[in-house]
A and B are shown apart, each in its own frame.
Chain A
Amino acid sequence: MGEAPLVMSGATKRFGGFTAVSNLSFQVPEGQIIGFLGPNGAGKSTSLRMALGVMQPDEGSVSLFGAAPDIKNLRRIGFLPEERGLYKKMTARDTITYFARLKGMSAADARARASELLDMTGLGAFRASRISKLSKGMAQKVQILSTLAHRPDFLILDEPFSGLDPMNQQTLEDLIRAEHKRGATILFSTHVMEHAERLCDGIVMLARGRKVFDGTLDAAYATLGRGARMAVEHGFDLAAALRPKGFEAQRAADKGPGDSWRVALPRGLGAQDVLRAALETGAPIVGFQPEEARLRDVFVSLVGEAEAAALDVPVAADVVEAA
């Protein structure tokens, strides 16, 4: 494996008395898709702007391809900012061409690449349309294509899915996979855990400017105590029945018929083992559901329910799109 495209070491950023990012250290290994997760206001965008050299950290350091961010190594990066914007009077093709040229492509290559990308994403018919004439989703697509046009080694996407409808979200997921397949390293921030679950090799979780997790998806799930949901007829004490078998059960909020219980799974035992044990005790089972590990649950277990609730607050772009 080659040099890590991004290494942040103890990066801290303060705005007056407010610490937006505190002592953040992580690295993005070459060739991986890393999710940068956290609720709105967690410090994701500030971290990414520090990673790109747009902002300087007050403490700590940032290394892009082994050096401090500068125009030379930034040419190897494609950046999609959270706050989207394009020149409204430029055409779709000119926009992509312009940003590709700023990243070092020749005029002819940039124009050809712009046409290729527009055709590939179904926007070929709109290549000569001004951005102001495109729908919001189309314009957003053009901006994403502008980010990819120069075939960057490292893609940094800040909330790339916000503001996109489900169909365009799928298109973007496909584009990210295609770029990854091409060999690009990808770091994207999101507050929607499902995207990370589908795409990422690894994740970095942030809450209130601090890193709360950094590792693979499996390692993230492993932080959760696994369990199973079981419903029994009213009045049956499942905890007392399972204790001799080595399982701990706790009453849970009732969902459906009977009394609901959550049974923790000891290391090395699976959901089938607890079901078998319950049947052996003669428990009157009316429902059974092995727990499926979700990143949101990981986040809850790391920062608490109150902090995790912020994940459900949509960003402004989502609100606009929904409206």
Chain B
Amino acid sequence: MRNIYLIFRRDFLGYVKAWGFWLSLAAVPLFIIIGAGFGYFAASSSPVRYYTVVEPGNVISEAIDAEFRRSEARALEEFKSLSGRSEGVQTDAASAAATARKFVAVPAPAATIDELTPYLAGEKKVAGPGGEKPLFAALILSPDGRTLEYWSSDVNVSGLRFSAETAMRDLSRRDALVAAGLSSDFLKTADEAAVTVAEFRPRETAEQGAEVTTADRAPAIVAVALAYFLWLMVFSIIQYLLMGTIEERSNKIFDTLLTSVKLPELLSGKLLAVFAVTSTMMLSWGLFAGVGAAFGASQSPALMEMIQPFIAAATDPALIIPALISFMLGYVLYGAIFMALGSLCDTIQEAQTLLSPMMILLMLPMFAIFIAFNDPGSPVIDYASWVPLFTPFLLILRMPSDPPLWEILAQMALMAVTTALIVWGATKVYRAGAVHGAGIGDLMGMIKGAAGMKPKAG
């Protein structure tokens, strides 16, 4: 144990002292903060753009304005729901920022597109509430009244166009109802009279209630998150294990180590070190997410209510125990493979030739995770979970569907046996690479005759 600890300690500190570790550690929270900051900045700094509508009268202008008002009302509702604030404080700066209008109608400075083009091109400016600016867009109703032409120099900003389309549909519906002799409130009344569809699921006890809530969906979402978490962890250990082993091989350090510790001790120490490194990262990110969520929940009871079912799902033994077993076996299984492959490589370039097939192998369970996200009960997941290389990820995904106990136990047993076999084979490959100097070229020979490896001369 002492030797395992010493190997673990050296490798762990070696990784942790590297700049790359701290950059990786900081990267995720930093990207989240920067991403959120960009989002907020983009929303708050988005310029107020002027548009004009060329039409006889102001029916279209009013319809677009009404659509903007409805959007703003929806945004305000969402803001109030998340922040848990009362009606009385809805006009503060935050709610104002959430509902600020980015498109402002101005009187048309000209009536034709030829005359409006200099305003759209920025050669001339129009006056508005935000001062003089070029015209962002002009909406021109065709003479026959059947087409609303949308003219703008910036084709990438489409918010105004979408609002105009929605406004036109509502306007058309209203005109049709009026033409049919019905009032404009008729459709609203009809919509309100529609039978609502409520979602239920059968339960063992009536006290639990039958209506479907977030708590029902949370296990599947948490399972996908856990499977993705394991996948991400395995994905991140690749570089650590490959680079670490390549460094030792190129530094010719194996002989010194193997006259001080047993090979299983060496491998265990190394696997534990990389596990600790990735765990440190994941826990740090988890801590960041937890603190963020706690802060969010303290600011918004509604958010706390939203998170609660996910916390309950993540701490459910029926999900977490198989997840932890899958996690450990999956980590050892893939860790042993990558360490063995690393021991055959002298350079990063050599390792890269091995990485491609391993990436493809690792992408397959990732596809399954995507499938599970949309359809947790997919038979694809059920069948693929019997492949031991994929079981660590896919068994977690199956758990919310309550698979038969014998299947869970059988898959775990299969996974354990496969892991043991792979560790056995990886130890052989590692010994061949580390002690006998075998290279990638010898890998096929080793696979063909694992029992009778013929190493190079030392």
Contact = CB atoms under 8 A, between A and B. Distances in A.
A86 B53 CA distance: 75
Contacts of B173: none
A54 B129 CA distance: 83
Nearest to A104: B2
Interface string B443-458: 0000000000011111
B260 A103 contact: yes
B262 interface: yes
Contacts of A79: 255-256, 259
Interface stretch (A13-21, A267-275, A280-288, A303-311): A13-21
Given A55-B435, A87-B14, A102 B261 contact: yes
A79 B261 CA distance: 13
Interface string A153-178: 00000000000000000000000000
B17 interface: yes
Interface string A63-85: 00000000100110101010111
Contact of B253 (A45, A55, A71, A86): A86
B258 interface: yes
B18 interface: yes
> How many A residues are at the interface, by size bracket?
20 to 34
Secondary structure class of chain B's binding surface, majority of residues: loop
A83 B6 contact: no
A77 B258 CA distance: 12
A146 B253 CA distance: 12
B24 interface: no
B251 A102 contact: no
A2 B261 CA distance: 27
B347 to A, nearest CB: 15
Contacts, number: 76
B74 interface: no
> How many B residues are at the interface, by size bracket?
20 to 34
B458 A55 contact: yes
A140 B457 CA distance: 24
B10 interface: yes
Given A15-B456, A54-B435, A85 B260 contact: no
Nearest to B10: A98
Contact of B14 (A77, A89, A103): A89
B85 interface: no
- Which of B3, B6, B458 has most A Cβ within 10 Å? B458
Nearest to B257: A102
A71 B262 contact: yes
Given A54-B435, A85-B256, A101 B6 contact: yes
Interface in A274-304: none
B6 A18 contact: no
Contacts of B258: 54
